[in-house]
Amino acid sequence: MTSHRRSILCVDDEERDLQLQRATFEAAGFDVSVARDLAQVNGVLERRPVDAVVLDYRLINADPIHVAISVRKRHPRMPIVILSGFVEDIPEYFKRAVDACMTKQENAEHWVSTLHAQFGNQYGVGA
């Protein structure tokens, strides 16, 4: 059986947050790409396969709703997980449009387990 590392795209406009996300998810076995705005998101999605998107809700350089719409147009079934310091500010309609929400204050284990859950047991990282 061939091992498949899940590939994720982390979208955040804060470099420090992107570094933390990359370190956390790579340590858990994910292949991680990063983007800071919609143009970079589209560039990554054109160049490489991505299994899920981890998206900050408060982006300075992009509207997260537009990012989510762009991802869904290309990949309707791709999981989108919000990772935000301000989950309480996210409108309910947007929470229902994505697959999961996490806070930046939650621990790394929670981030990883939430992401694993998006793939189901048979498709987990390294499966």
Contact call for residues 48 and 65 (beta carbons, < 8 A): no
Least Cα distance to 54 among 28, 87, 32 occurs for: 32
We report the CATH number of the domain holding residue 14 as 3.40.50.2300
Residue 68 lies in a domain: yes
The rounded distance, in Å, linking the Cα atoms of 60 and 19 is 17
- Write out pLDDT tens, residues 8-57: 999 999 999 999 999 999 999 999 999 999 999 999 999 999 999 999 99
Domain-located, residue 1: no
| 127 occurs within a structural domain | no
pTM of the full predicted structure?
0.88
Interatomic CA distance for residues 110 and 73, integer angstroms: 28
3-state secondary structure of 70: helix
| DSSP structure class, residue 84 | E
Residue-number span of the structural domain to which 104 is assigned? 7-120
